[in-house]
Structures are given as structure tokens and as C-alpha cells.
């Protein structure tokens, strides 16, 4: 299938048949958080500081059944949110989801990424998760989104990786062969795929990968269909990821799962290899990581930005002391001293760290220096909280 309109129609048909993601609809705000969908935490991750305004416009580009859209509304109480998607059936689910949970500051449009120019104005934050790799022309898609990104805005992208999805690609092709003329009948494709998995030996590589990595979500037909019978998929490696980034005309800021891209998690026991790796460019190190750990790199998630964007590292002590600290909104159970951080990892705090976080209440508007004096936390402790993304910093306005 090479006709872009035919591809778009086939993708819309899949999601009309199997609205995705299939999370249940709730009569209350969704539980938890995703820091990438919170303007304050995403902006702080990308720039080192809290944004100076909250009344922003957010676009959920390829919003599907509205799972991310709903979070974008609830996590950003002053933002106006727009969701677009190809599938009318999936959009109907998104509208009902947001209506039921009270996510009212949102409007939906049945549009493809290629038609996004029809929306008025620009957006400060664009979320495009799991979409570009399903379009017939990802470069055209990312360029269309880039044109709608406001100066100082952020674009968050999630696309598939070829190395970590190798077994998926093989199963997709096997299902297509067995479907024959019935390819495009997504219900039949799901049945064929499930029968293959049930029939293959338990030690088969495809079966083991499905069981170990994907089976928990793929018990739902919507997830199984999205993974194994999708009519359009382009998988990436580091080289093609950066070809896409360069085509966008935007600045690459960072991967939003940075721990995955730290080489020392793989080679820290060989200092001589780490030393050699220091001579590589960032992109070469990324390529090395995915070559050494292909199973982990099943996708790429990253932020792009349109200048001007600040880059504040807070290396200057005086600037840090004069900054205003605020607790991250993406943490759970922090007052106990044992909390879940922005990535839902357990963090244990000392009593003085807990007291400092209490002093970082938005209503207090204390400076770092004042909060340190009130709690006894030293500057190294403050820097540790900053590095862990537990506090956001606003610089002192310049006169």
C-alpha cells in the first residue's frame, strides 16, 4: 500500500474497529500523572527552570481515545487543549472520556497531522505519541507539527525503534501472509495472530518476547491489533531518528527517558571502554547504546523545541540562592519521606529534605536561601533535589 489516502483510510478503519488506547472511562480525573504531559515539569526538564506562564495552548496530535488528552487537561488547569485524530470512532471515545472526567477545556477535530494547518494559531506544547510512525510520510507530518509550534514551545515525540521491535515485525509479516486476501480485516488478523502464538512452541523466540515484554497489555484485542495488524508502521534507529529531527527544523533537546541513554549502565565495569566512548559524539554514543542493548530500545521518546528557550543549569550559587523553589507536582506520598518521584520510582528523603519540600509550597514564594535558612538544608542538598526533579526553580526576574 503506497497511496497516502489509502493508508490514512486503512489506519482510520483500524482505530474505528479497535479504539486505542483501551483504558477504561472514569467519572473522575485519571489517577496519577505523566510528567511529560505537565507543562511545568516538561518545561523544567527541558530548560532547567519553571515556565513563566501557565495560560498556554496544547495540541494532542493523534489523540486516539483521549487518554493523554484527558491528562493534559487535568494536569494543566490553565491550558486550552485541542485533540486531533483521523478516526471518528476513536474521537467519539475521547470526547466521552473527557466529558465524563470533567476535562472540559478541550476541543476535538477529526484531522490528520497533514491537515493541522487548518487549526488557528500556534501551540506552546505539542504531544505526538505513537503517531508519526503510523503515517505514510513522517517527515511531512513532523514538519506540519513544527509549523504549529510557537516560539519557546516544546514538541514531545514518541516513535518506534526497529531493534527492540524485531520480533513484532516478524509476527506482523507472518500474520499478513496467512491472512492473504483477508488482510485489512483486522478482526481476522487478531484471530490469526492469537492462534499463531497459541500454536508455536513455548521456547520460540517470538513467543518468549511476547510473553516477557508485551503479553500483559496485549490481552486486550485493541492492543494486540495495534501491535500486530496495523496497516502502516515505520520503525527507526538512531540515524533515522535524527534525520526526522533535522527535517523538522527544530532543536533536539533531550530524550525524555534519559536513564536509558546513559552508557555507564552498560559499560561502567570497563573504564577503558568508557574512556574510548568519550571520544564519540552524542549521536554515536546513542547508536552504541542501542547496538549493545537492542531489546531495551523498542521506542524513542524525546523533546524538540523552537527557540528562544532558556538553558539554566544553576551552576552559579548566587543565582540558585535567589531562585524561587516549588515542589514538583509529579510526586506521590512525599510527606512521608518515602515517595514516588516523577518516574514512579521510590525515593527516600531525610527529615530536613522533607522540611525543605514543605517550605517549597507555591503559596510561600520563599527564595532558596530563605527555605534553606528555615530548614537547615545545605546547598548540596538543594542541588540534589533539583537533579532529582523534585523541585522546580523560577529565576529572580531581572529589572
Tell me what the mean pLDDT of segment 170-179 comes to: 98
Contact between 221 and 18 under an 8 Å Cβ cutoff? The reply is yes
CATH of domain 4-162+235-305: 3.40.50.150
> Could you give the count of Cα atoms lying within 13 Å of 41 in the half-sphere of its Cβ?
23
Domain extent listing, the chain: 4-162+235-305, 166-228, 317-394
Per-residue pLDDT, 365: 85
Cα gap 97→95, rounded to integer Å: 5
pLDDT digits (tens, 9 = 90+) for 192-243: 999 999 999 999 999 999 999 999 999 999 999 999 999 999 999 999 999 9
pLDDT over 70 percentage in the chain: 99
How many residues would you count in the chain? 399
pLDDT in tens, 102-126: 999 999 999 999 999 999 999 999 9
pLDDT at 1: 55
Q: Yes or no: say if 69 and 98 are a contact pair by the CB < 8 Å rule.
A: yes
Name the H helices within the chain: 4-17, 39-47, 67-75, 88-101, 138-147, 166-179, 186-199, 205-209, 215-218, 221-228, 238-248, 264-267, 271-277, 282-292, 317-322, 351-359, 368-375, 379-387
Q: What is the dihedral of CA 287, 212, 219, 171, to 10 degrees?
A: 60
Q: Is the pLDDT of residue 364 over 80?
A: no
**What average pLDDT score do residues 10-20 get?**
97
pTM (2 d.p.):
0.96
Let me know: does 36 contact 75? Beta carbons within 8 Å: no
| Residues 172/196, Cβ–Cβ less than 8 Å | no
Predicted confidence (pLDDT) per residue in 244-278, tens digit: 999 999 999 999 999 999 999 999 999 999 999 99
Amino acid at each position: 500500500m503506497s497511496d497516502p489516502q489509502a493508508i490514512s483510510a486503512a489506519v482510520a478503519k483500524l482505530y474505528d474497529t479497535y479504539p486505542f488506547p483501551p483504558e477504561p472511562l472514569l467519572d473522575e480525573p485519571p489517577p496519577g500523572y505523566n510528567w511529560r504531559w505537565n507543562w511545568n515539569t516538561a518545561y523544567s526538564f527541558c530548560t532547567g527552570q519553571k515556565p513563566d506562564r501557565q495560560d498556554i495552548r496544547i495540541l494532542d496530535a493523534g489523540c486516539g481515545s483521549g487518554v493523554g488528552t484527558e491528562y493534559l487537561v487535568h494536569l494543566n488547569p490553565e491550558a486550552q487543549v485541542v485533540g486531533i485524530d483521523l478516526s471518528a470512532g476513536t474521537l467519539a471515545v475521547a470526547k466521552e472520556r473527557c466529558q465524563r472526567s470533567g476535562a472540559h477545556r478541550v476541543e476535538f477535530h477529526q484531522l490528520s497531522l497533514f491537515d493541522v494547518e487548518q487549526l488557528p494559531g500556534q501551540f506552546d506544547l505539542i504531544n505526538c505519541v505513537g503517531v508519526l510512525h503510523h503515517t505514510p510520510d513522517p517527515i511531512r507530518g513532523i514538519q506540519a507539527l513544527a509549523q504549529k509550534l510557537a516560539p519557546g514551545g516544546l514538541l514531545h515525540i514518541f516513535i518506534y525503534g526497529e531493534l527492540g521491535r524485531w520480533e513484532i515485525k516478524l509476527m506482523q509479516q507472518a500474520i499478513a501472509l496467512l491472512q492473504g486476501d483477508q488482510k485489512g480485516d483486522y478482526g481476522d488478523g487478531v484471530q490469526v495472530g492469537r492462534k499463531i502464538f497459541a500454536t508455536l512452541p513455548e521456547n520460540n523466540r517470538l513467543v518468549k518476547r511476547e510473553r516477557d515484554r508485551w503479553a500483559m497489555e496485549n490481552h486486550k484485542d485493541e492492543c494486540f491489533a495495534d501491535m500486530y495488524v496495523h496497516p502502516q508502521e515505520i520503525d527507526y534507529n538512531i540515524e533515522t531518528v535524527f534525520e526526522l529531527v533535522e527535517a523538522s527544523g527544530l532543536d533536539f533537546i533531550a530524550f525524555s527517558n534519559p536513564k536509558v541513554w546513559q552508557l555507564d549502565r552498560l559499560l561502567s565495569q570497563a573504564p577503558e571502554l568508557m574512556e574510548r566512548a568519550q571520544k564519540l559524539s552524542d549521536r554515536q554514543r546513542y547508536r552504541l547504546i542501542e547496538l549493545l542493548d537492542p531489546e531495551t530500545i523498542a521506542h524513542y521518546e524525546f523533546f524538540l523545541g523552537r527557540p528562544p528557550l532558556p538553558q539554566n543549569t544553576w551552576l552559579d550559587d548566587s543565582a540558585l540562592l535567589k531562585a524561587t523553589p516549588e515542589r514538583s507536582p509529579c510526586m506521590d506520598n512525599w510527606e512521608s519521606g518515602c515517595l514516588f518521584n516523577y518516574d514512579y520510582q521510590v525515593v527516600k528523603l531525610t527529615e530536613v529534605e522533607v522540611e525543605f519540600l514543605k517550605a517549597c509550597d507555591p503559596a510561600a514564594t520563599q527564595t532558596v536561601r530563605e527555605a534553606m535558612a528555615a530548614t537547615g538544608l545545605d546547598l548540596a542538598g538543594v542541588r540534589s533535589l533539583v537533579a532529582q526533579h523534585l523541585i522546580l526553580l523560577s529565576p529572580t526576574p531581572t529589572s
